């Protein structure tokens, strides 16, 4: 395994015969965190809870066969990208074709050769971890190192699903640096870029609950997503952001709001009963941001 891949990928082995699991586990226990399931139901549960990097899946099982398990894994958003390899005694080529049609990445017939199985599984794990890394890199903003718009959209979607399921409020802050065009004009684009980096890091540091998400929305705009947060909570975070940026005390002599860099913030709370779309929620926050600008900048409107 190359150094940038995480040390111990998670491997889930599913087979209704504990003896079969033990044989496979021996092959991988030195390279992987190995988890085991002896039924289809248990496999689905563990797949959701553990987010394994790869699943080795038996086909013939008493409660729910491997084909059905695979179908359900591929149908659920949390598990649809988890690679599945069938490991089975069903050795007809038609069975193999079904396995691939169901979305498996490989098909291993029993009895198997340990060296070959090990090589195939390790190859698939390497691919999975590399694609995870690419996915993560695609969600980072190149200039500031914080989450980008693509990452934000994904988190926003997930946060909304959580809010709806758990009947929780969801708050959104749209943040815009005041008079940033004038900042660039006065201090130059390079210093403008440095200002964006400093502001981004300060926003990220000020937003500290594990499920909160700060991102660069584009240009000199940032967005903060606050799950399980009502109006009072959103205002508290917004005040914390104003304070954090004031603390940076970045000189801005061309600003009409203050002689340092400041933020305007628009906040919007989506209540559990709301049926508003993501676009509507963004639009509310944008409207409040517009108000904050009109009312003199360096403030939050909600
Ligand atoms: P307001 O207070 O109304 O927000 O005024 P503003 O000047 O901040 O707003 P405006 O939208 O007119 O200008 C945004 C500026 O942000 C213009 C653009 O040059 C600058 N900007 C956007 N992205 C970058 C970037 O990546 N680097 C730098 N240095 N500047 C950027
Ligand atoms: Mg079996
Ligand atoms: Mg702007
Ligand atoms: Mg601006």
- CA–CA dist 231, 212 (Å, integer): 15
Confidence at residue 161, expressed as pLDDT on a 0 to 100 scale: 87
The angle at the Cα of 278, spanning 277 to 283, to the nearest 5 degrees, equals 95
Residue nearest to atom 13 of ligand 1 (CA): 181
Q: How many CB atoms lie within 10 A of CB 294?
A: 10
In whole angstroms, give the CA distance from residue 63 to residue 211.
36
Q: Does residue 209's CB lie within 6 angstroms of at least one atom of ligand 1? A: no
Using CA atoms of 148, 47, 71, 5 in order, give the dihedral in degrees to the nearest 10.
50
**pLDDT class of 6 with cuts at 50, 70, 90:** low
| 184-215: pLDDT as tens digits | 999 999 999 999 999 999 999 999 888 999 99
Above 0.85 for ipTM, yes or no?
Answer: yes
Q: Can the peptide bond before residue 27 be classed as cis, meaning omega within 30 degrees of 0? A: no
Query: How far away, in angstroms, is 180 Cα from ligand 1 center?
Result: 5
Residue 220 annotated in active site: yes
Structure-token pair, residue 289: 């941001």
Give the count of alpha carbons within 13 A of 68, CB side only: 10
Q: Is the CB of 242 under 6 A from ligand 1?
A: no
For residue 218, the ligand closest to its alpha carbon is 1
Question: Which candidate in 68, 101, 220, 279 is catalytic?
Answer: 220
Residue 250: band (very low, low, confident or very high) from pLDDT cuts 50, 70, 90: very high
Residues 231-242 pLDDT 10s: 999 999 999 999
The region of weakest confidence among 63-72, 176-185, 221-230, 268-277 is 268-277
Q: Point out the ligand 1 atom lying closest to the alpha carbon of residue 190.
A: 29
| CA of residue 302 to ligand 3 center, whole Å | 18
Q: What is the pLDDT of residue 1?
A: 36
- Please give the Cα distance from 167 to 233 (Å, whole number): 17
């Amino acid at each position: 395994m190359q150094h940038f891949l995480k040390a111990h990928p998670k491997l889930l082995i599913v087979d209704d015969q504990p003896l079969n699991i033990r044989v496979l586990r021996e092959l991988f226990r030195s390279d992987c965190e190995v988890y085991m399931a002896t039924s289809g139901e248990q496999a689905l549960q563990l797949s959701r809870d553990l987010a394994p990097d790869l699943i080795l899946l038996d086909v013939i099982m008493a409660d729910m066969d491997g084909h059905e398990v695979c179908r359900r894994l591929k149908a659920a958003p949390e598990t649809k990208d988890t690679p599945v390899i069938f490991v089975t005694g069903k050795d007809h080529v038609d069975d193999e074709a079904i396995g691939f049609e169901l979305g498996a990445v490989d098909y291993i017939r029993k009895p198997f050769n340990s060296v070959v199985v090990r090589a195939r599984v390790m190859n698939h794990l390497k691919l999975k971890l590399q694609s995870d890394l690419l996915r993560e890199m695609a969600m980072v903003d190149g200039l500031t190192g914080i989450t980008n718009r693509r990452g934000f959209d994904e988190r926003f979607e997930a946060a909304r699903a959580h809010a709806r399921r758990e009947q929780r409020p969801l708050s959104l802050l749209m943040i815009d640096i005041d008079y940033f065009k004038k900042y660039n004009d006065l201090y130059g684009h390079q210093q403008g870029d440095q200002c964006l980096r400093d502001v981004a890091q300060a926003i990220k540091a000020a937003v500290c609950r594990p499920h909160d998400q700060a991102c660069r929305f584009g240009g000199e705009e940032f967005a903060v997503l606050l799950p399980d947060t009502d109006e009072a909570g959103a205002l508290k975070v917004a005040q914390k952001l104003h304070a954090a940026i004031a603390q940076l005390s970045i000189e801005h002599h061309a600003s009409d709001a203050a002689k340092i860099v400041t933020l305007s913030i628009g906040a919007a709370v989506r209540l559990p009963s709301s049926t508003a779309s993501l676009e509507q929620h963004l639009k509310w926050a944008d409207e409040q941001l517009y108000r904050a600008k009109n009312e003199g900048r360096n403030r939050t409107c909600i």
